Structure 1
Amino acid sequence: MNVRSQHQFTLLQASENNPGLAKLMAQQKASLSRLRAIEMLIPAPLRPFVKSGPFEDGAWCLMLSNNTTAAKLRQLLPTFEEKLRATGLEVTSIRLKVSRQP
Protein backbone atom coordinates (compact mmCIF):
# COMPACT_ATOMS: atom_id res chain seq x y z
CA MET A 1 0.00 0.00 0.00
CA ASN A 2 1.37 3.34 -1.03
CA VAL A 3 1.02 5.85 1.76
CA ARG A 4 0.86 9.34 0.45
CA SER A 5 1.48 12.31 2.69
CA GLN A 6 -1.40 14.73 2.33
CA HIS A 7 -0.86 18.40 2.92
CA GLN A 8 -3.95 20.44 3.51
CA PHE A 9 -3.91 24.14 2.80
CA THR A 10 -6.44 26.83 3.42
CA LEU A 11 -7.49 28.93 0.47
CA LEU A 12 -5.59 31.84 2.02
CA GLN A 13 -2.38 29.78 2.19
CA ALA A 14 -2.82 28.61 -1.38
CA SER A 15 -3.39 32.15 -2.60
CA GLU A 16 -0.21 33.36 -0.92
CA ASN A 17 1.75 30.96 -3.11
CA ASN A 18 -0.15 31.61 -6.32
CA PRO A 19 -0.23 35.16 -7.75
CA GLY A 20 -3.16 34.38 -10.05
CA LEU A 21 -5.27 33.02 -7.21
CA ALA A 22 -4.26 35.93 -4.99
CA LYS A 23 -5.47 38.37 -7.67
CA LEU A 24 -8.80 36.55 -7.98
CA MET A 25 -9.30 36.60 -4.22
CA ALA A 26 -8.52 40.33 -4.09
CA GLN A 27 -11.02 40.99 -6.88
CA GLN A 28 -13.68 38.93 -5.10
CA LYS A 29 -13.05 40.79 -1.84
CA ALA A 30 -13.31 44.15 -3.65
CA SER A 31 -16.57 43.07 -5.29
CA LEU A 32 -18.13 41.87 -2.03
CA SER A 33 -17.12 45.04 -0.18
CA ARG A 34 -18.89 47.12 -2.84
CA LEU A 35 -22.03 45.03 -2.60
CA ARG A 36 -22.05 45.39 1.18
CA ALA A 37 -21.68 49.16 0.79
CA ILE A 38 -24.78 49.49 -1.40
CA GLU A 39 -26.85 46.61 -0.05
CA MET A 40 -29.16 48.82 2.02
CA LEU A 41 -29.91 50.93 -1.09
CA ILE A 42 -31.33 47.89 -2.88
CA PRO A 43 -35.04 47.45 -2.14
CA ALA A 44 -35.39 44.60 0.36
CA PRO A 45 -37.60 42.40 -1.88
CA LEU A 46 -34.93 42.53 -4.63
CA ARG A 47 -31.85 41.77 -2.50
CA PRO A 48 -32.10 37.97 -2.86
CA PHE A 49 -31.85 38.43 -6.64
CA VAL A 50 -28.59 40.42 -6.56
CA LYS A 51 -25.10 38.90 -6.32
CA SER A 52 -21.70 40.51 -6.60
CA GLY A 53 -19.99 39.74 -9.87
CA PRO A 54 -16.54 40.36 -11.30
CA PHE A 55 -14.58 43.46 -10.33
CA GLU A 56 -11.61 44.27 -12.52
CA ASP A 57 -9.81 47.48 -13.42
CA GLY A 58 -12.47 49.57 -11.71
CA ALA A 59 -15.39 48.01 -13.58
CA TRP A 60 -17.88 46.15 -11.40
CA CYS A 61 -20.64 43.77 -12.44
CA LEU A 62 -23.78 42.93 -10.50
CA MET A 63 -25.30 39.55 -11.32
CA LEU A 64 -29.09 39.61 -11.30
CA SER A 65 -31.66 36.83 -11.40
CA ASN A 66 -34.28 38.56 -13.53
CA ASN A 67 -35.09 41.48 -15.82
CA THR A 68 -37.41 43.14 -13.29
CA THR A 69 -34.52 43.49 -10.85
CA ALA A 70 -32.31 44.83 -13.65
CA ALA A 71 -34.88 47.48 -14.58
CA LYS A 72 -35.15 48.76 -11.01
CA LEU A 73 -31.41 48.67 -10.32
CA ARG A 74 -30.68 50.51 -13.58
CA GLN A 75 -32.59 53.44 -12.05
CA LEU A 76 -30.48 53.22 -8.89
CA LEU A 77 -27.04 53.15 -10.54
CA PRO A 78 -26.31 56.86 -9.93
CA THR A 79 -27.20 56.40 -6.25
CA PHE A 80 -24.95 53.33 -6.03
CA GLU A 81 -22.05 55.20 -7.61
CA GLU A 82 -22.52 58.15 -5.23
CA LYS A 83 -22.55 55.83 -2.20
CA LEU A 84 -19.43 54.00 -3.39
CA ARG A 85 -17.58 57.31 -3.91
CA ALA A 86 -18.61 58.46 -0.43
CA THR A 87 -17.20 55.28 1.10
CA GLY A 88 -13.97 55.34 -0.91
CA LEU A 89 -14.94 52.34 -3.04
CA GLU A 90 -15.17 54.08 -6.40
CA VAL A 91 -15.85 52.24 -9.62
CA THR A 92 -15.36 53.37 -13.20
CA SER A 93 -18.59 51.63 -14.20
CA ILE A 94 -21.27 49.31 -12.91
CA ARG A 95 -22.63 46.72 -15.31
CA LEU A 96 -25.83 44.75 -14.71
CA LYS A 97 -26.00 41.21 -16.03
CA VAL A 98 -29.06 39.02 -15.89
CA SER A 99 -28.06 35.40 -15.50
CA ARG A 100 -30.62 32.98 -16.80
CA GLN A 101 -30.94 30.03 -14.47
CA PRO A 102 -32.67 26.82 -15.54
Structure 2
Amino acid sequence: MYRLHTTVTASNAAEQAPQLRQLLALSAQSNHRLALIRSLLPPTLRNSVRAGPVQDTEWCLLVANASVAAKLRQLTPMLLAHLRTKGESVQTLRIKVSTQI
Protein backbone atom coordinates (compact mmCIF):
# COMPACT_ATOMS: atom_id res chain seq x y z
CA MET A 1 0.00 0.00 0.00
CA TYR A 2 1.41 3.36 -1.05
CA ARG A 3 0.84 6.50 0.85
CA LEU A 4 0.63 9.81 -0.96
CA HIS A 5 2.44 12.67 0.70
CA THR A 6 0.71 15.96 0.13
CA THR A 7 1.84 19.42 1.00
CA VAL A 8 -0.45 21.51 3.15
CA THR A 9 -0.10 25.27 3.35
CA ALA A 10 -0.32 27.05 6.69
CA SER A 11 -3.61 28.66 5.71
CA ASN A 12 -5.12 25.29 4.74
CA ALA A 13 -3.96 23.76 8.00
CA ALA A 14 -5.38 26.70 9.94
CA GLU A 15 -8.77 26.26 8.31
CA GLN A 16 -8.89 22.71 9.60
CA ALA A 17 -7.45 23.32 13.08
CA PRO A 18 -9.17 25.87 15.35
CA GLN A 19 -6.05 26.32 17.51
CA LEU A 20 -3.93 27.24 14.50
CA ARG A 21 -6.63 29.59 13.24
CA GLN A 22 -6.62 31.34 16.64
CA LEU A 23 -2.81 31.63 16.61
CA LEU A 24 -2.83 33.10 13.11
CA ALA A 25 -5.53 35.59 14.13
CA LEU A 26 -3.54 36.69 17.19
CA SER A 27 -0.39 37.05 15.11
CA ALA A 28 -2.24 39.14 12.53
CA GLN A 29 -3.73 41.32 15.28
CA SER A 30 -0.30 41.89 16.82
CA ASN A 31 1.24 42.79 13.46
CA HIS A 32 -1.67 45.16 12.74
CA ARG A 33 -1.10 46.93 16.05
CA LEU A 34 2.59 47.33 15.28
CA ALA A 35 1.71 48.82 11.90
CA LEU A 36 -0.58 51.32 13.65
CA ILE A 37 2.17 52.62 15.94
CA ARG A 38 5.20 52.27 13.66
CA SER A 39 4.95 55.87 12.43
CA LEU A 40 5.03 57.09 16.05
CA LEU A 41 8.31 55.33 16.79
CA PRO A 42 11.56 57.23 16.33
CA PRO A 43 13.00 56.23 12.92
CA THR A 44 16.19 54.92 14.49
CA LEU A 45 14.22 52.46 16.66
CA ARG A 46 11.74 51.08 14.11
CA ASN A 47 13.93 48.16 13.04
CA SER A 48 14.55 47.22 16.68
CA VAL A 49 10.89 46.58 17.55
CA ARG A 50 8.85 43.45 16.74
CA ALA A 51 5.24 42.54 17.45
CA GLY A 52 4.88 40.15 20.36
CA PRO A 53 2.06 38.12 21.88
CA VAL A 54 -1.47 39.40 22.51
CA GLN A 55 -3.41 38.35 25.61
CA ASP A 56 -6.84 39.91 26.08
CA THR A 57 -6.16 43.63 26.63
CA GLU A 58 -2.39 43.18 27.04
CA TRP A 59 0.08 43.43 24.17
CA CYS A 60 3.81 42.79 24.20
CA LEU A 61 6.50 44.41 22.08
CA LEU A 62 9.81 42.64 21.62
CA VAL A 63 12.83 44.92 21.42
CA ALA A 64 16.50 44.48 20.60
CA ASN A 65 18.07 45.93 23.75
CA ALA A 66 17.52 47.73 27.04
CA SER A 67 17.98 51.23 25.62
CA VAL A 68 15.19 50.66 23.09
CA ALA A 69 13.03 49.26 25.90
CA ALA A 70 13.67 52.36 28.03
CA LYS A 71 12.66 54.71 25.21
CA LEU A 72 9.50 52.72 24.47
CA ARG A 73 8.53 52.80 28.14
CA GLN A 74 8.67 56.60 27.91
CA LEU A 75 6.42 56.48 24.82
CA THR A 76 3.96 53.93 26.25
CA PRO A 77 1.18 56.38 27.27
CA MET A 78 1.19 57.96 23.81
CA LEU A 79 1.27 54.58 22.05
CA LEU A 80 -1.64 53.24 24.12
CA ALA A 81 -3.70 56.38 23.49
CA HIS A 82 -3.06 56.12 19.76
CA LEU A 83 -4.05 52.45 19.67
CA ARG A 84 -7.31 53.24 21.49
CA THR A 85 -8.16 55.99 18.97
CA LYS A 86 -7.75 53.36 16.25
CA GLY A 87 -10.23 51.02 17.97
CA GLU A 88 -7.75 48.67 19.63
CA SER A 89 -8.61 47.65 23.20
CA VAL A 90 -5.08 47.61 24.59
CA GLN A 91 -4.88 48.51 28.29
CA THR A 92 -1.34 47.31 29.02
CA LEU A 93 1.77 47.42 26.87
CA ARG A 94 4.57 45.10 27.96
CA ILE A 95 8.06 45.59 26.58
CA LYS A 96 10.49 42.68 26.60
CA VAL A 97 14.09 42.56 25.49
CA SER A 98 14.67 39.72 23.04
CA THR A 99 18.10 38.71 21.80
CA GLN A 100 16.64 37.28 18.58
CA ILE A 101 15.72 40.57 16.91
1:61 aligns with 2:60: yes
Give the 4+ runs in structure 1 shifted more than 3 A: none
Q: Unaligned 5+ residue runs, structure 1? A: none
CA distance in 1, matches of 2:26, 2:55: 7
3-state SS of the aligned residue for 2:39? helix
Q: How many residues align?
A: 100
CA distance in 2, matches of 1:41, 1:77: 11
Question: Once the 2 structures are TM-superposed, how far is the Cα of residue 10 of structure 1 from its aligned partner?
Answer: 1.5
TM-score w.r.t. length of structure 1: 0.91
Q: Any idea what the Cα deviations from partners look like across 1:48-77, whole Å, max 9, x if unmatched?
A: 110000012121000001011011110111
TM-score w.r.t. length of structure 2: 0.92
Tell which deviates more after alignment, 65-74 or 83-92: 83-92
Q: Percent identity?
A: 41
1:25 aligns with 2:24: yes
Superposed counterparts of 1:1-102, under 5 Å: 3-101=2-100
Q: Unaligned 5+ residue runs, structure 2? A: none
